[in-house]
Structure 1
Amino acid sequence: MSFEYTADEQERVQVAGFLGIQLDPIGHADLAVVVILSIVYFVDILAVCFLLWNRNFPPLKSKYPILMSSCMLALFVWFLGDLVLKSHVHVRGKQLSDCMLFCVWMRVLFGNFMVSALITIRSYALYCIFRRNRAYRGTRLYVSVGVVVLVAVTFILVTYLLPRSETVEYIEVIQMCNMSYMYRALVQGLLWLTWIGFAIINFRLRNITSSFNESLEMGVACACVFVLLTFNTIILYTHPLYPTSKVLRVTETLTSHVIANFLWWFIMYNSMYNCAFRRQTYLAEWKNKLVRDGLQKQYQISRTDPFSSTMLSVDSNHSAKMVTLHRDMSEVYGYHHRMSFSRSSVNKQSDQAHSQHTSQRRLWTGGAACGGANSDGTSSNPRASALSEGDNLADDILVEESSNNVILFSPQRAVVRPLNTLENISSATTIHDGTLESRRHSDTRGLSPK
């Protein structure tokens, strides 16, 4: 494939001029676009391989690695479609002149629309988690994916039912693919509706409580996309044959793919960089931040279980175990399930618990006690301070001065475990309410440390 001004290319330019079309020949500027973006997408594909290989690394898993990998592959397919639609390469021969394949299937459906749909699905997943407090799986997953598939199938059916002259056709004399005005409106309308849906979801995500700037990511994505979509729409309607202009086709292609790649890397860069170069340190920092923010449930800590092999450093003097406690049990021990706990809290709540329950209802693990008090009635948790009531189902951190144990309580359901063996269980274990009744009737026995 030549990028020189050959005799065939000169003839193509002359034929276009005879038809009243000013056609810039395919040249070194187009070659530069192909080379630059090919290098970019080569790096991107390597990044996708790295992402998939490390997809179970908790900070990366929280970014939806399968979805984001699919998004990057869709960007690459979009790039291949652009090479043909915008005439960066010579569009001749049976394969390259198949405008329906390159322009409709690759550039529009599995390119533009797929990228738009995947980013919108990611935004909806965040909405389910942070606004609806529901996991993105089951019905929510199937319905959202089903809507995308339904829209895609409808678009393809409409495309094939319309006459070829009303969709995309190959102009043989100048070796170009061209979309009709009506079909351009259909494509742009599809993309605008998708991104408007994304913007609505993103608006609902504003000011969410998250640990890793998800609302900022979606806000930047929204701004980038609407700038790009507005630019593309203006070009399409002010210069219907913009691929004939070297400046316009090069500018449009580079702008589209630079912004699209920036969007992807803005979401993924920090986690991928730290996974590659600061893996264990970053994982510890990531866990600590979730504990401080009380967002283990939202980031699916219980499913990925990053606590299973490490002790979590909460501050310079204490390590931590995470134990999730059923909400009924938390109420028995004086901890309301709607409370939001700060890292330094416990003394006030421990005193409240002690005033409501006898000393026989203390929960021990090693030297750490839940609601414990000394014989003179003072709290056994001198390091703790205030406890504030909030809206999040967050974790309580109980600190005993004489011990290195820190117990985190989260109001979630769990498996059956005896309460007096907490010190021996996995650091991501939960306690079931099945043990609750026996504890409710142990008014005289209580629980003693091992």
Structure 2
Amino acid sequence: MVAIDLAKRNVLDSESRATFLSTMLNIKVDPVSTPDKIVIIVGAAIYGITTLIIAYAWINIKYRPIRAKNMTWTTLMHIAGILWFVGDIPTNGLVELKGPWIICKLWVVWFRILFCYLFAAMHMVRFFALDRVFNQNKPFRGMTNVIALVIVVIFNVLFCVISQVVSDKLTVSTSKDIALCNVTVHFRIAAVVVQWVLWAGVAVLIYRLRNIQSSFNEFYESLAIFTVAIIILIESSVTLLGFEYYPLMMRHRLEKTLMDCLGANIMVWLIIGQPVFMCMFNRRRYETQWLEKLTRDGRKAAYEVSSGQGGTTAYVKMGERDASMLQSSHINFGSSEAIHTLNIGSTGQDYYDVAAMNPEGNTLTSPEAAAYSAHDGIPLALRNNLQIRRPVLNTPTMFNVGFLDGSTDERRII
């Protein structure tokens, strides 16, 4: 009945159409106006800020706390979030259905639904990667990355293909009469259920991460991300299932769009926000502390951290975490990871450099030497538990007889 009456009144302007629809649908209908445009601009600005953060992270990808965040997957999440936002614009009724916006099934199924699902699925893969590394003690790289990506894409694309081939009357259609992308109730229910299933899978993986004992709080970071996701899911479920014509009501459509936008960006910020901020304002000190924590936790292998050329701090590569490794030949210094001997004195007596072992309390008079000693002079894994013996001609060293016995104060002499 609404369609017939509106077809006869196609000359009505947007205000008159809104008034007529309010009477017919028994709701307050708000035409597309300035607030909708403002929300689009604000959303684009928020995604722009996140894009700049991502770009900065890639520029500083050699900064090890950033590199440990798997920037490839984080970037893919962000791209999925942007395309999800694009799909939200026509789906939530922020623009009039004219021109390309009139193809509702494209925007609802292939943008709004597909990339919303991909965003959730990529978080699932990320938590699976953490579970694989920390719980299963297996790597997550190479073909494992590719297989995970293929599975994620196939599962979500399959749902969208089925939605595309099913009749529009059962899924999504363009209602020109009421200027709305009409999504049937049953299809809304199916879409919401799939979302909950995806995040339920995330919940299972987060539960498996509960016993990770790491200084970098992967479990708490995961809980924060999951909390944001659940808030978005609850809001989305209430809006989609409780308000059939929410795109016609300004408060609900703006709320839905902003919640999706903020949620997607906050989750990305929770992943890379801290290392990016520290890289900007506390670069050297934070990386030193980060590596020291990594050494204490025995997580170097899990994070695939290595020194190499251009690194800021050398450390020992250990295949095992037992202290007895210090007395074996498994310790392997790379070309840039050897202990550097500062030119302090000319005698060959034993000494240990307090400043080198304690970056916070370096007392060397030369700032350059202090920075060198604190950050590059002694491998992190050797600090605080070793006494350093200056190499002297014809004196046995670690390179030909191994480590000498431990000293009386529990420090090992090399």
Residue 247 (structure 1) aligned to one of 230, 251, 267:
251
Deviations 1:80-105 (A, max 9, x none): 11111111111212x11011221111
Deviates more, 1:33-42 or 1:13-22: 13-22
Residue 105 (structure 2) aligned to one of 100, 106, 111:
100
CA-CA distance at 1:286 after TM superposition: 1.6
Structure 2 residue runs without a partner (length 5+): 1-10, 332-338, 342-350, 355-380, 392-396, 403-412
CA-CA distance at 1:18 after TM superposition: 5.7
Deviations 1:124-167 (A, max 9, x none): 11111111111112454344223212212321221122101111
1:279 matched to which residue of 2? 283
1:432 matched to which residue of 2? none
Q: Match of 1:301, SS?
A: coil
Q: Give, as a single letter, the amino acid of the residue that structure 1 aligns with 2:31.
A: P
**d(CA) in 2 for partners of 1:8 and 1:139?**
57
Determine if contact 1:307/1:322 at 8 Å carries over to the other structure: no
Instruction: Select the structure with the greater relative contact order (CA < 8 A; seq sep ≥ 6).
Output: 2
2:164 matched to which residue of 1? 160
Instruction: Please give the residue correspondences for 1:173-252 in structure 2 after superposition, counting only pairs within 5 Å.
Output: 173-252=177-256
**d(CA) in 2 for partners of 1:281 and 1:230?**
41
1:120 matched to which residue of 2? 124
2:376 matched to which residue of 1? none
Deviates more, 1:45-54 or 1:12-21: 12-21
2:43 matched to which residue of 1? 37
Deviations 1:245-282 (A, max 9, x none): 11111122222222322222122111111112222232
2:295 matched to which residue of 1? 291
CA-CA distance at 1:182 after TM superposition: 1.9
Are 1:403 and 2:397 an aligned pair?
no
**d(CA) in 2 for partners of 1:215 and 1:59?**
17
**d(CA) in 1 for partners of 2:193 and 2:112?**
15
CA-CA distance at 1:404 after TM superposition: 7.4
Determine if contact 1:123/1:198 at 8 Å carries over to the other structure: yes
CA-CA distance at 1:322 after TM superposition: 1.2
Deviates more, 1:256-265 or 1:234-243: 256-265
Q: Give, as a single letter, the amino acid of the residue that structure 2 aligns with 1:98.
A: I
Residue 34 (structure 2) aligned to one of 28, 37, 40:
28
CA-CA distance at 1:300 after TM superposition: 0.8
Q: Match of 1:170, SS?
A: strand
Q: Give, as a single letter, the amino acid of the residue that structure 2 aligns with 1:48.
A: I
Using a 3 Å threshold, how does the CA distance of structure 1 residues 325 and 219 change in structure 2: closer, same or farther?
A: closer
Q: Match of 1:297, SS?
A: helix
**d(CA) in 1 for partners of 2:154 and 2:325?**
47
Determine if contact 1:81/1:102 at 8 Å carries over to the other structure: yes
2:89 matched to which residue of 1? 83
Using a 3 Å threshold, how does the CA distance of structure 1 residues 47 and 329 change in structure 2: closer, same or farther?
A: closer
CA-CA distance at 1:297 after TM superposition: 0.9
Determine if contact 1:159/1:167 at 8 Å carries over to the other structure: yes
Q: Give, as a single letter, the amino acid of the residue that structure 1 aligns with 2:72.
A: I
Are 1:8 and 2:13 an aligned pair?
yes
1:444 matched to which residue of 2? none
Are 1:74 and 2:70 an aligned pair?
no
Q: Give, as a single letter, the amino acid of the residue that structure 1 aligns with 2:231.
A: V
Structure 1 residue runs without a partner (length 5+): 1-5, 313-320, 338-364, 368-379, 384-394, 406-417, 424-448
Determine if contact 1:58/1:306 at 8 Å carries over to the other structure: no
**d(CA) in 1 for partners of 2:94 and 2:227?**
28
Determine if contact 1:130/1:298 at 8 Å carries over to the other structure: yes
Q: Match of 1:324, SS?
A: coil
Q: Give, as a single letter, the amino acid of the residue that structure 2 aligns with 1:403.
A: R
**d(CA) in 1 for partners of 2:309 and 2:290?**
11
Q: Give, as a single letter, the amino acid of the residue that structure 2 aligns with 1:260.
A: A
Determine if contact 2:232/2:260 at 8 Å carries over to the other structure: yes
Determine if contact 2:92/2:256 at 8 Å carries over to the other structure: no
Deviates more, 1:130-139 or 1:204-213: 130-139
**d(CA) in 1 for partners of 2:109 and 2:215?**
40
Using a 3 Å threshold, how does the CA distance of structure 1 residues 278 and 336 change in structure 2: closer, same or farther?
A: closer
Determine if contact 1:51/1:69 at 8 Å carries over to the other structure: no
Determine if contact 1:15/1:173 at 8 Å carries over to the other structure: no
CA-CA distance at 1:175 after TM superposition: 1.4
Using a 3 Å threshold, how does the CA distance of structure 1 residues 241 and 293 change in structure 2: closer, same or farther?
A: same
List structure 1 runs of 4+ shifted beyond 6 angstroms.
326-329, 334-337, 395-398
Instruction: Please give the residue correspondences for 1:335-414 in structure 2 after superposition, counting only pairs within 5 Å.
Output: 399-403=385-389
Q: Match of 1:322, SS?
A: coil
Determine if contact 2:69/2:272 at 8 Å carries over to the other structure: yes
CA-CA distance at 1:309 after TM superposition: 4.3
Q: Match of 1:177, SS?
A: strand
CA-CA distance at 1:116 after TM superposition: 0.3
Deviates more, 1:221-230 or 1:256-265: 256-265
Point out the structure with the larger helix share. Answer: 2
**d(CA) in 2 for partners of 1:366 and 1:32?**
58
Q: Match of 1:96, SS?
A: helix
TM-score, with length taken from structure 1:
0.69
Deviations 1:27-53 (A, max 9, x none): 232232122212212212222221222
1:428 matched to which residue of 2? none
Using a 3 Å threshold, how does the CA distance of structure 1 residues 10 and 286 change in structure 2: closer, same or farther?
A: same
| Percentage of identical aligned residues | 25
Using a 3 Å threshold, how does the CA distance of structure 1 residues 41 and 180 change in structure 2: closer, same or farther?
A: same
